[in-house]
């Protein structure tokens, strides 16, 4: 089911730049996602109900973005716009072209962008992304560190296609995502892989992290990000509920391990994330790939 709406606003200004994705702004041309990832954090929010069943299209998003960037550009408030928190390249984008229209506006006003996607549909817009990459104005603090106007990164939780079908049932396969990254790289763009989230006891072992980072290097990624799983909400449609249901069906022996790791919280202990980061940094050094965008 697809609903068309006229949104009241589209550009979200962050209080501070995101440490991982470097965005100062974010946009969501669509609400909902047919990729239906079980662990998606939006399931623990008001946007998560019936995530795959109902998709909302903000049909006036490009017009809204033009109004908002006109004002920001006049004030020289340049910053990276993330097409990230909900998938901007859901299949209906091929018809609606809302994301493409918003990229045209970003190009017009010379705003840099970071596309975080699981979809190969981003390849349709490589022409515009290359123009943005060449002409965008970066915030002064990033000009010496980044010097790129467009970033494209692909998110995945595993390289195992069978595991991905359980936890990311509607998404392209991990191999398809890696091939998309390689095509973007071949076109001269700045690309990365986001192993966010890796799945405890399923895709976070030393051997699996090694394979993830080595494979990213082999497919041409410029950088890698690795992050732990968060499980929000307690309602019937929330990611914590659905994730544990998937564990009980496919990996019941892991349920006690997850309960011991999360201990009733929505996230694993800080020590877990610290160890995950340290291992990933060391592996990136081994394979000559950057950990983090800058």
User: Are the CB atoms for 101 and 62 separated by under 8 Å?
Assistant: yes
pTM of the model: 0.94
- The series of mean pLDDT values per 10 residues for the chain, 294 residues long, is 94 95 97 91 56 81 98 97 92 97 98 98 98 97 95 97 96 98 98 97 98 98 97 87 96 97 93 97 98 96
With a CB cutoff of 8 Å and minimum separation 6, the contacts of 117 are 83, 87, 88, 89, 152, 153, 154, 155
Q: How far is CA 252 from the centre of its chain?
A: 29
- Long-range contacts, stretch 139-143, CB < 8 angstroms, 24+ apart: 139/17, 139/24, 139/78, 139/79, 139/80, 142/22, 142/80, 142/294
- Per the listing, tokens 């405890």 go with 200
Rounded-to-integer distance, Cα 87 and Cα 98, Å: 12
Domains of the chain: 2-291 (3.20.20.70)
- Residue 84 has a pLDDT of 77
> How many residues in the chain?
294
**CA distances in angstroms from 263 to 153, 199, 228, 249, 255, listed in the order given:** 32, 16, 15, 21, 12
């Amino acid at each position: 089911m697809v609903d068309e709406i006229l949104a009241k606003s589209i550009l979200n200004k962050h209080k501070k730049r995101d440490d991982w994705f470097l965005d100062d702004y974010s946009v969501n041309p669509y609400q909902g996602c047919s990729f239906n990832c079980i662990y998606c954090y939006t399931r623990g929010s008001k946007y998560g109900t019936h995530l795959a069943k109902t998709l909302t299209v903000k049909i006036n998003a490009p017009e809204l973005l033009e109004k908002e960037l006109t004002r920001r550009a006049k004030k020289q408030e340049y910053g990276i716009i993330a097409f990230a928190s909900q998938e901007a390249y859901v299949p209906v984008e091929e018809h609606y072209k809302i994301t493409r229209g918003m990229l045209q506006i970003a190009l017009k006003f010379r705003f840099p962008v970071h596309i975080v996607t699981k979809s190969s549909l981003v390849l349709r817009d490589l022409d515009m992304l290359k123009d943005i990459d060449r002409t965008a104005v970066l915030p002064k603090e990033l000009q010496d560190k980044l010097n790129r106007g467009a970033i494209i990164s692909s998110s995945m939780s595993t390289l195992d296609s069978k595991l991905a079908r359980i936890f990311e049932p509607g998404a392209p396969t991990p191999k398809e995502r890696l091939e998309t990254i390689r095509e973007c790289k071949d076109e001269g763009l700045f690309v990365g892989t986001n192993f966010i989230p890796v799945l405890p006891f399923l895709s976070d072992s030393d051997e699996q992290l090694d394979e993830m980072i080595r494979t990213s290097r082999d497919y041409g990624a410029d950088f890698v990000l690795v992050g732990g799983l968060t499980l929000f909400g307690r309602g019937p449609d929330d990611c914590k509920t659905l994730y544990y249901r998937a564990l009980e069906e496919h990996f019941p022996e892991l349920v006690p391990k997850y309960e011991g790791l999360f201990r009733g919280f929505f996230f694993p202990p800080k020590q877990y994330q610290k160890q995950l980061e340290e291992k990933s940094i060391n592996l990136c050094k081994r394979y000559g790939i950057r950990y983090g965008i800058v």
